[in-house]
Each structure stands twice: as C-alpha cells, then as structure tokens.
C-alpha cells in the first residue's frame, strides 16, 4: 500500500513536471518531450481500440497523415488561423473515419486490421496526387505558419510542446472517463466475456463504433502537431506505417496492452531504447519487435502487468477483476462448450 | 491397485480448470465388455471426466490406465489409436464434409480392425442413402448416427458416449439405445454419460452418480433403490 | 481503339493470374488456420531472392530452380507452423499479428542487409519477350499466358487435393471445427503443419513467376500481401476458385488504373476492393 501510494505520488509529480517542462528543461529536451507526447497520444488511442474495444488495427497512420494534410490545407493553403486549423484537422480525420468504419467493420479480427491498412495505403497514394500539397514528394510548412506559433525559437518550441501536452492530457482524461463510464465497464466486460456482456445488455456495437470514431480526431490533431515538429508534409513521412503504427504497437504491447498505464510505460521504454540503441538502425526495429513478442508470451499485460503484481492495484484505478477461482468455475461450468471453440 | 484386468481404471482423479476443481478425487472402473453409466446433473463434471480420459483436459491429477497402461499425459491421437474413442457431446461432426468423409475420419484415426463400412451401413441403412450428403444438412438423430458410426469405425476397445440423447426425440433415442447391447456384444466396453437416468440405467451393468465433481453413489442398477438414485442425482 | 482496350483487359486478366498465385496460399492458410500471415508477401519476396541466388551463384535456370525450391518450401512451411506459428494459433488475433508482423520486419531487414535496396529481377529469356498474336491487333505476352495457365492449374490441383484426397478431408475437417478434430484424435497440430507446407509450396510457385514478371526488392513484401489479401476477400473467404475470380477482378482494375500511372494502378485496385467490400462484403463466392 505504501509502495502504491508512493508510485502514485511519483506519477503526480511527473505530471506536474511535464506541465512545466519548458520552464524546467532546455530546448533539446523540450523537443524530445514534444515527440514523446505525440507518440503517447498515438499509443493511448491504439491501446483503447486494441486493448479495450477488441479492435486491432494496423492502419491508424491513416488519420495521422490525414490530420497532417488537413492542417496544411487549412493553415497554409486556405489561410485559416493555425490553432483553428489544428482542430479542423481533427474533424477531417473524423470525417474520413466514418466511411472507413462502415467499410472495414464488415470484416472481422485480422481481416479488419489489414482492411484499415488498405485504407491507409489508399489515402497515402491519394495524398501524393495533390499538387497543391506538393504531390509525391510533399512540401515544407511555410515559415509564416511556423512563426505564427512564436517568433523566438524558445517560445515556439514551448507553444508546440504545450499543444502536444494538452492533447496528451485531454486524451488521457477522455480515456479515463470513458473507461469508468457504463460504456467502459461494458467494454471491459465484453473483452473478458463477449457473451456475458451481451446478455447483461451492453450494446457492444455501439461501444465499438464510439471508440473507433472517437480515436480519429485525436489521431488527426496528433498529425497536425507532428507536422509542426517536422515542419514538412510528405506522403511517406506523414503516413509512415513504421513510425505511427508499427512502433506504437510494439510500445503498447511492451508497456502493457489493455491497461491505462501501459501506453505510458511503453512510450517511455521506447524513448529510452532509442537513446541507447540509436546506432543499430534497422535492427532497432527488429529488437523492439522481438522484445514485444517475448513480453506478450511471458506476461500478457506487459511490463505494467509485471509491475502491478508488486503494486497490488492500478496506479490509476479503473476497475476490478473477479477472483481466479470464479473465472475457473465460469470456464468449467457455463462455458463448457464455448471454451472448446476457443481452443 | 492392480487394474490389469480392468479395461479402464480411473484412480483418485481430479481435474482442474485453473484453480477450480471440476472433478474431485473420482474412482471409476470399466471392465472389458461392460456398459457403465455415469449420471449426474448439468455441471456435475461428467463431460470433464470424459475429456480427461481422452486426453483433452489440461490439468489432471491421479491415475488413469487403459488395459493396464497409463494414459495421462499421452496425446489424444495416441489414445485414440490405442483403442478409446469419444462420441462427443453435441455430435461435433464436420458440417461441410459428407457423411462418408466424416465416417472415414473415424477409420483413419483409429485402430484398424474388423468393423468396416459394411457394418456401419448395416447398422444405419438410412446413412448409406445419404453417404454423399453434407453432414451439416442431416437431422439431429442422423448426425448422432454418424457420430456413433465414426466412433465404431475407429474399432475402439472402449467407447465413450457423451450425452448422446441430448436434443433428440424420444423415438430416436430409443432406436439409438437399442444399439448399445449390439456394440457390447462385440466385446467393446462402453462408458455412457447421461442426464437421462432411465434409459442409461436400463442398459448399464454398473453406474456412478456424479454430484459436483464427486462420486456420490455407485453400484448395479438393479440393486439400488430409484429414490436413492434421485436423491444423489439432485444432491438432496 | 478497341484493340487498345482489349489489350488492356487481357493484360489485366493475365495479371489476375499472377495475383491468384499470390493469393492461393493465403487463402489456404487463412481459411484453415483462421489467421492472416502478415509475412506472406515477404516470404514470396524471400523466395525470389533464393531463386536469384540459385540463378546467379549456381547458374541454374529459373524453372529448375523453382522445382528445387518447392520441396524445401514445403519443409520450411511445415517447420514454421509446427514450431513457431502453432504457439499462436487460436490465441487472440493480436498475438498472431504481432508475431507475423515481426517476421515480416525481420525478413525485410535481413534482405536489406544481405542484398541491398536495389531492385532485382530474374531474366525469363526468350519466354519473357515472346508474344502471341491473337488477331485484330491483340497481343499477349507468352509468359503472361503461361502464368495464367499455371494459376488455373494450381487452383485445380488444390481443389482436387482438398476434395478428393484423405489429407484434404482432414484439412477441411480441422478448418470446420478444430476442437472437434482434437476430440476425436485428429491431430490439428500435424494437419495445420501440412497445410502450411502446402501454402509454402504455392509461395514457391508464386515466387518463380513473379521474379520474372517484374522487379522485386526487400520492401516489396507488403504490396504482395495486400494484393493477396484483397484477392481472397473479394473472391470470398475459403473459396479457391473465388480467388481466381478475385485475382482477375483486381488485375483488370489495376490494368485500367495503370493507364495513367503506377500510383493510379495501385489506387484503382484498392478502390475496387473497397467497392466490392461495400457491395458484397462476404465476397463473390463465400464458403462461410
């Protein structure tokens, strides 16, 4: 209990420190932390879908790219206020998510995942056809837009950092409240026992639709924020499957899928590994991938699952699990035939 | 415990699903050529016991021996090849395969022996007419025949029947149960798991009543009072 | 004018044959084991490189090289399933995606390290350049025809294997109900391994043709996977002949898009896939 409260205290201190980061750290660190916040948002979103709503996707880089291109369109081409453009980028991502969802929800499990990948590919190729956006090689963000976030570099970095931080904070709060709501409890129930959840009256379809559509605006805004960091858009970079999907998946799995703390830990681990393994190039990716497989075979709940065994409860309490005895009896009795099919 | 003359000896067996003990220190014996009934309410653990015998339960403690040899830890493939065959609860045929293909699988996985297709067609003439029909399109009773036929084609020395009367009309069940003595006449031991007390006790040489994973009553059907059986079945 | 369009259509159909070769193995493995191997396309590319090595180092001609590779491919697929993928069969889809994704990345980076990023191609010699004139100004490449015929033949052979042989019945049984198979002593582990072995034989055949048809490089895998995926979904999961039809649909769509440029070629394929998904999500010839 002492350790748990101590850990919670550390977490709280960390959040405060992050909020004040531009005052506490130098420019290089602020840049790094901005990137951290963006990756964290992506991780939280993917985790919500795959870890709670049981929708595994490998195509979320679609919305990052859409957000980036939409932001460029509103801010650089249409001349809208940059902050407004960021929000509109999220809306455009949501608009794209609706028909995508209608299409890919016709597929199940792994097919759904690859379906999202197909959509992402299509969007990437289509964006390469947009001449005003630089076509196949993309283009840079106009200096005027960049300066709109602050004339001095320090101010700019701080502003962009706070945008990223705000996005991450909102993402966390939104996820927190969703998971503690009826929908969230229903999702967790569904994840553990789909038939039982349906019997209790949880509208699974509605919950999954809500989650799928709900993540889109966050991903789109993240795309806009990432563009502010990279100062460029291009189809392969803005829609990069490696950066915005593959790494994210590995991070969340390592940190702990299906938990609130997992994406945070996973993203931290990613940045630590990147610092020390920067020289390995391509093997960095292979190492991360292998590590994630090892982790998921040892402890399905990832590093957080390992830590939690010691802590005894969630850092940020969301729900409780039934005892192992209860689960075992349920499997033997109620699910006598259903569990066969799962083998 | 010397069980070399017993066809199947289940000694002090417990079966676990994670921490939950579904079968609790159970002793069961089947002699060669005997029909043994296991009765019990839903959830009493009957199917679990059969799964443990056929090698499909993960965590089993105790001893199970078949014709003197231990079978806990062996693969289902090996157990079936050595002479035990299961007629699973709910038939569990392969719906997109034809009747003939389903039956042939029984032959392929089993101990090759005397029982062949000719015997199966003789026992179930209605199936011969439908040999090329997809098993998924058959009626419940016909599917049960295929499941039985498949098991017989494996030429087992011990047949495990899991709730073969489930979901079938009374006339059909009667027909099926007339087969039990015929199978027994070929020297095959039969372990029947049933919720239907009357029919299964009518064909049994011995019976066991399972209640919440334990054997609460056992004996010969003729020697035990019906009311006593009911009491142990329901746990009163 | 008609001749131009007829040629394009024919090219599309022939391309469909190639795409069917990609897809047929995925159809089998996804239909039987109920998971999609994300590294499927990368294994095709890996085999292309193996064929390249056999050709450049040992001077073996492509046909012989492919024939040599096939039994090795069977053993490799058998082993891969038996010792690695079997551990994730039936588990949640995430684990399967992770493992096959990781495999995909390992293969791509391994090939990159070993061969570099330059596109490669195997020469088909005279067969590659020969064309067949069908009259009215319509011409088709001989190699394209051979590929298409090979695709049809492969589908027919697999159809025979699945529906007329003992092992085929076992494969179909296990794909109907794996738990029931295990209960009656039909080892799903062994059947899955055999099915994957067969899948890898088709991968070997696909590699034999695509290595001559067009360029390949370490990053080509995902494109092949997406093609195979779109073909089997459009054709209908579980249907072999459906894959042939799906392949032709995709090939024709791409041929039409390819009139403009390569990006449009690929986009046309994706768009048609999404249209079919919207109108007939179960595919053209669904088994399930």
Is the Cβ–Cβ distance between C71 and C130 less than 8 Å? Answer: no
| A19-41 average pLDDT score | 91
For residue A97, pLDDT over 90 is answered with: yes
pLDDT by residue (tens digit) across C87-133?
A: 888 777 788 888 898 889 889 988 998 999 999 999 888 888 888 88
| Nearest Cβ partner for C185 among B51, B97, B109 | B109
User: Is A329 near chain B, with CB under 8 Å?
Assistant: yes
Q: Which residues of C78-102 are buried (b: 16+ CB within 10 A; e: fewer)?
A: bebbbeebbebbbebbbbbbbbbbb
Q: Nearest residue of C to residue A339 by CA position?
A: C179
Which parts of chain B register pLDDT below 50? Answer: 1, 3
Look at residues A67, A141, A286 and name the one whose alpha carbon lies nearest to residue C101. Answer: A286
Coil/strand/helix, residue C185? coil
Least confident range from A234-238, A315-319, B139-143: namely A315-319
Token pair recorded at residue C256? 């039409």
Neighbors of chain C with 3 or more C-beta pairs under 8 Å: A, B
Residues in chain A with CB shorter than 8 Å from the CB of B47 are: 336
For residue A319, pLDDT over 60 is answered with: no
Look at residues B92, B121, B110 and name the one whose alpha carbon lies nearest to residue B159. Answer: B110
How far does Cα C162 stand from its chain's mean position? 18
Look at residues B124, B223, B140 and name the one whose alpha carbon lies nearest to residue B182. Answer: B124
For residue A334, pLDDT over 70 is answered with: no
Spatial neighbors of A53 by CB under 8 A, at least 6 apart, are: A187, A207, A208, A211, A212
pLDDT by residue (tens digit) across C239-276?
A: 999 999 999 999 999 999 988 888 999 999 999 999 99
Record: contact B17-A325, CB cut-off 8 A: no
Are β-strands B35-40 and B189-194 bridged in parallel, bridged antiparallel, or unpaired?
A: parallel
Q: Nearest residue of C to residue A340 by CA position?
A: C179
Residues in chain C with CB shorter than 8 Å from the CB of A102 are: 278
Distance between CA atoms of residues C278 and B223, nearest Å: 68
Q: Which band of pLDDT confidence, cut at 50, 70 and 90, is reported for residue C134?
A: confident
Residues in chain A with CB shorter than 8 Å from the CB of C112 are: 282
Record: contact A324-B16, CB cut-off 8 A: no
Residues in chain B with CB shorter than 8 Å from the CB of C186 are: 77, 105, 108-109
Distance between CA atoms of residues A233 and A236, nearest Å: 9
Q: Nearest residue of B to residue A334 by CA position?
A: B43
Record: contact C187-B105, CB cut-off 8 A: no
Look at residues A50, A77, A93 and name the one whose alpha carbon lies nearest to residue A132. Answer: A77
Record: contact B105-C182, CB cut-off 8 A: no
Place of tokens 């596109």: C119
What confidence score (pLDDT) does residue A2 get? 76
Q: Which band of pLDDT confidence, cut at 50, 70 and 90, is reported for residue A337?
A: very low
For residue A20, pLDDT over 50 is answered with: yes
Angle at A195 between CA A189 and CA A198, to 5 degrees: 70
Look at residues B81, B13, B35 and name the one whose alpha carbon lies nearest to residue B182. Answer: B35
Record: contact B88-C184, CB cut-off 8 A: yes
User: Is A103 near chain C, with CB under 8 Å?
Assistant: yes
Residues in chain B with CB shorter than 8 Å from the CB of C181 are: 94
Q: Which residues of A225-245 are buried (b: 16+ CB within 10 A; e: fewer)?
A: bbbbbeebbbbebbbbbebbb
Report pTM: 0.89
Record: contact B17-A332, CB cut-off 8 A: yes
Are β-strands B189-194 and B20-31 bridged in parallel, bridged antiparallel, or unpaired?
A: unpaired
Record: contact B19-A333, CB cut-off 8 A: no
What confidence score (pLDDT) does residue A288 get? 82
| Nearest Cβ partner for A246 among C101, C178, C183 | C101
Record: contact C266-A121, CB cut-off 8 A: yes
Distance between CA atoms of residues A322 and A328, nearest Å: 10
Shortest alpha-carbon distance between residue B90 and chain A (Å)? 9
What confidence score (pLDDT) does residue A331 get? 53
Percentage of residues of chain B with pLDDT beyond 90: 55
| C142-146 average pLDDT score | 93
User: Is A337 near chain C, with CB under 8 Å?
Assistant: no
Identify the bridge partners of residue B36 per DSSP, sorted by sequence position: B191, B206
Residues in chain A with CB shorter than 8 Å from the CB of C26 are: none
pLDDT by residue (tens digit) across A138-168?
A: 999 998 888 888 888 888 899 999 999 999 9
Record: contact B94-C179, CB cut-off 8 A: no
Token pair recorded at residue A38? 């963006």
What confidence score (pLDDT) does residue A87 get? 96
Q: Which of B76, B132, B193 to mutate to test the interface with C (most CBs of C within 10 A)?
A: B76
| C27-34 average pLDDT score | 90
Coil/strand/helix, residue C266? helix
Coil/strand/helix, residue C176? helix
Place of tokens 């001095």: A152
Is the Cβ–Cβ distance between B181 and B150 less than 8 Å? Answer: no
| Nearest Cβ partner for A328 among B20, B47, B89 | B20
Average pLDDT of chain B is 89
Distance between CA atoms of residues B50 and A152, nearest Å: 77
Identify the bridge partners of residue B15 per DSSP, sorted by sequence position: B23, B60
- Residue B136's CB is within 10 A of a number of other CB atoms, namely 13
Look at residues C89, C70, C79, C257 and name the one whose alpha carbon lies nearest to residue C150. Answer: C70
For residue A339, pLDDT over 50 is answered with: no
On the 0-12 / 13-18 / 19+ scale of CB atoms within 10 A, C127 is: middle
User: Is C185 near chain B, with CB under 8 Å?
Assistant: yes
User: Is A130 near chain C, with CB under 8 Å?
Assistant: no
What confidence score (pLDDT) does residue A323 get? 52
Record: contact C105-A253, CB cut-off 8 A: no
Percentage of residues of chain A with pLDDT beyond 70: 87
Coil/strand/helix, residue C139? strand
Higher pLDDT, A207 or C150: C150
Identify the bridge partners of residue B23 per DSSP, sorted by sequence position: B15
Distance between CA atoms of residues A198 and A180, nearest Å: 18
Shortest alpha-carbon distance between residue B107 and chain C (Å)? 11
For residue A301, pLDDT over 70 is answered with: yes
What confidence score (pLDDT) does residue A341 get? 38
Record: contact C270-A117, CB cut-off 8 A: no
Q: What's C288's DSSP letter?
A: -
User: Is C117 near chain B, with CB under 8 Å?
Assistant: no
Are β-strands B84-87 and A232-233 bridged in parallel, bridged antiparallel, or unpaired?
A: unpaired
| Nearest Cβ partner for C97 among A106, A113, A297 | A113
Neighbors of chain A with 3 or more C-beta pairs under 8 Å: B, C
Coil/strand/helix, residue A18? helix
| Nearest Cβ partner for B105 among C173, C179, C182 | C173
For residue A325, pLDDT over 60 is answered with: no
Residues in chain C with CB shorter than 8 Å from the CB of B109 are: 184-186
Distance between CA atoms of residues A10 and B218, nearest Å: 63
Shortest alpha-carbon distance between residue C176 and chain B (Å)? 6
Distance between CA atoms of residues C62 and C43, nearest Å: 18
Q: Which band of pLDDT confidence, cut at 50, 70 and 90, is reported for residue A179?
A: confident
Are β-strands B35-40 and B206-211 bridged in parallel, bridged antiparallel, or unpaired?
A: parallel
Shortest alpha-carbon distance between residue B18 and chain A (Å)? 5
For residue A109, pLDDT over 60 is answered with: yes
Spatial neighbors of B178 by CB under 8 A, at least 6 apart, are: none
Q: Which band of pLDDT confidence, cut at 50, 70 and 90, is reported for residue C189?
A: very high
Q: Which band of pLDDT confidence, cut at 50, 70 and 90, is reported for residue A229?
A: very high
What confidence score (pLDDT) does residue A269 get? 92
Q: Which residues of C145-175 are buried (b: 16+ CB within 10 A; e: fewer)?
A: bbbbebbeebbeebeeebeeeeebbbbbbbb
Place of tokens 């569904």: A190
- Residue B74's CB is within 10 A of a number of other CB atoms, namely 16
Residues in chain C with CB shorter than 8 Å from the CB of A50 are: 94
On the 0-12 / 13-18 / 19+ scale of CB atoms within 10 A, C135 is: exposed
Neighbors of chain B with 3 or more C-beta pairs under 8 Å: A, C
Distance between CA atoms of residues A296 and A288, nearest Å: 12
Is the Cβ–Cβ distance between B18 and B38 less than 8 Å? Answer: no
Coil/strand/helix, residue A233? strand
For residue A257, pLDDT over 70 is answered with: yes
What confidence score (pLDDT) does residue B3 get? 45
Shortest alpha-carbon distance between residue B170 and chain C (Å)? 26
Give the 3-state secondary structure of chain B: CCCCCEEEEEEEEEEEECCEEEEEEEEEEEECCCEEEEEECCCCCHHHHHHHHHCCCCEEEEEEEECCEECCCCCHHHHHHHCEEEECCCCCCCCCCEHHHHHHHHHHHCCCCCCCHHHHHHHCHHHHHCCCCEHHHCCHHHHHHHHHHHHHHCCCCEEEEECCCCCCCHHHHHHHHHHHHHHHHCCCEEEEEECCHHHHHHHCCEEEEEECCEEEEEECHHHCCHHHHHHHHHCC
Distance between CA atoms of residues A130 and A122, nearest Å: 13
Place of tokens 């709910």: B90
Strand ranges for chain C from DSSP E: 131-133, 139-141
Q: Nearest residue of A to residue B23 by CA position?
A: A332
Record: contact A328-B16, CB cut-off 8 A: yes
pLDDT by residue (tens digit) across B34-59?
A: 999 998 887 778 889 999 999 999 89
Angle at C25 between CA C153 and CA C211, to 5 degrees: 75
Coil/strand/helix, residue C140? strand
Distance between CA atoms of residues B148 and B158, nearest Å: 13
């Amino acid at each position: 209990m002492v350790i748990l409260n101590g850990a919670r205290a550390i977490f709280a201190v960390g959040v405060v420190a992050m909020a004040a980061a531009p005052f506490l750290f130098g420019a290089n660190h602020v840049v790094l932390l901005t990137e951290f916040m963006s990756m964290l948002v992506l991780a939280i979103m993917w985790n919500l879908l795959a870890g709670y709503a049981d929708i595994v996707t490998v195509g979320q880089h679609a919305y990052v790219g859409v957000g980036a291109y939409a932001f460029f369109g509103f801010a650089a081409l249409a001349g809208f206020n940059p902050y407004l453009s960021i929000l509109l980028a999220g809306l455009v991502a949501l608009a794209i998510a609706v028909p995508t969802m209608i299409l890919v929800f016709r597929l199940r499990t792994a097919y759904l995942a690859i379906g999202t990948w197909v959509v992402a590919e299509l969007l990437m190729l289509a964006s390469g056809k947009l001449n005003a956006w630089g076509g196949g090689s993309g283009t840079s963000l106009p200096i005027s837009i960049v300066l709109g976030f602050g004339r001095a570099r320090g101010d700019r970095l701080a502003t962009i950092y706070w945008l990223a931080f705000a996005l991450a904070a909102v993402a966390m709060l939104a996820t927190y409240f969703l998971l503690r709501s009826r929908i969230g409890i229903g999702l967790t129930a569904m994840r553990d026992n789909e038939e039982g959840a349906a019997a209790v009256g949880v509208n699974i379809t509605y919950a999954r639709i809500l989650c799928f559509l709900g993540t889109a605006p966050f991903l789109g805004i993240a795309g806009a924020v990432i563009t502010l960091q990279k100062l460029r858009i291009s189809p392969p970079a803005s829609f990069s499957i490696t950066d915005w999907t593959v790494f994210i998946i590995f991070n969340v799995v390592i940190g702990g899928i299906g938990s609130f703390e997992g994406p945070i830990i996973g993203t931290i681990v990613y940045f630590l590994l990147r610092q020390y393994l920067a020289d390995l190039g391509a093997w960095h990716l292979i190492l991360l991938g292998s590590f994630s497989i090892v982790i998921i075979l040892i402890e399905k709940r990832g590093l957080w699952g390992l830590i939690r065994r010691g802590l005894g409860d969630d850092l940020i309490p969301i729900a409780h699990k039934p005892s192992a005895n209860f689960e075992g009896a349920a499997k033997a009795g109620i699910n006598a035939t259903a569990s066969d099919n799962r083998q | 415990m010397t069980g070399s003359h017993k066809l199947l000896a289940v000694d002090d067996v417990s079966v676990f699903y994670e921490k939950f003990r579904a079968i609790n220190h159970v002793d069961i014996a089947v002699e060669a050529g005997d029909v043994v009934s296991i009765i019990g309410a839903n959830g009493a653990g009957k199917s679990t016991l059969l799964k443990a015998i056929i090698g499909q339960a993960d965590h089993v403690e105790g001893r199970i021996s078949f014709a003197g040899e231990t079978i806990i830890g062996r693969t289902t493939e090996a157990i079936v090849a050595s002479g035990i065959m299961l007629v699973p609860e709910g038939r569990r045929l392969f719906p997109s395969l034809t009747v003939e293909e389903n039956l042939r699988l029984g032959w392929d996985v089993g101990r090759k022996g005397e029982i062949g297709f000719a015997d199966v067609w003789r026992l179930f003439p209605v199936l011969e007419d439908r040999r090329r029909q997809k098993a998924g399109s058959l009626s419940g009773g016909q599917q049960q025949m295929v499941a039985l036929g498949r098991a017989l084609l494996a030429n087992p020395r011990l047949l495990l029947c899991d709730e073969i009367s489930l979901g079938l009309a009374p006339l059909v069940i009667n027909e099926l149960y007339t087969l039990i003595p015929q199978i027994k006449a070929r020297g095959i031991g039969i372990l029947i798991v049933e919720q239907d007390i009357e029919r299964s006790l009518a064909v049994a040489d011995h019976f066991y009543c399972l209640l919440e994973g334990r054997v609460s009553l056992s004996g010969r059907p003729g020697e035990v009072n019906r009311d006593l059986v009911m009491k142990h079945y329901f746990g009163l | 004018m008609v001749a131009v369009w007829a040629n394009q259509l024919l090219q599309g159909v022939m391309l469909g044959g190639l795409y069917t070769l990609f897809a047929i193995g995925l159809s089998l493995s996804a239909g039987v084991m109920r998971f999609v191997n994300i590294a499927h396309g990368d294994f095709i590319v890996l085999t292309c490189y193996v064929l390249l090595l056999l050709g450049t180092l040992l001077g073996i001609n492509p046909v012989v090289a492919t024939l040599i590779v096939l039994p090795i491919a069977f053993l490799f697929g058998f082993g891969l399933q038996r010792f690695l993928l079997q551990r994730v069969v039936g588990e949640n889809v995430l684990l399967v995606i992770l493992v096959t994704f990781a495999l995909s990345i390992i293969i791509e980076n391994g090939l990159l390290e070993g061969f570099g990023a330059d596109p490669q191609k195997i020469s088909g010699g005279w067969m590659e350049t020969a064309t067949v004139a069908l009259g009215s100004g319509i011409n088709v490449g001989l190699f394209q025809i051979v590929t298409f015929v090979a695709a049809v033949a492969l589908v027919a052979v697999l159809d025979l294997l699945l529906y007329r042989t003992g092992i085929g019945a076992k494969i179909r049984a296990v794909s109907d109900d794996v738990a029931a198979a295990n209960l009656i002593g039909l080892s799903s582990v062994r059947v899955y391994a055999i099915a994957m072995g067969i899948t890898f034989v088709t991968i070997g055949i696909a590699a034999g043709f695509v290595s001559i048809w067009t360029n390949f490089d370490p990053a080509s895998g995902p494109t092949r996977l997406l093609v195979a995926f779109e073909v089997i979904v459009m054709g209908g999961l579980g249907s072999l002949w459906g894959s042939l039809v799906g392949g032709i649909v995709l090939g024709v769509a791409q041929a039409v898009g390819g009139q403009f440029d390569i990006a449009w070629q690929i986009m046309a394929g994706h768009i048609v896939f999404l249209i079919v998904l919207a109108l007939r999500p179960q595919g053209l010839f669904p088994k399930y």
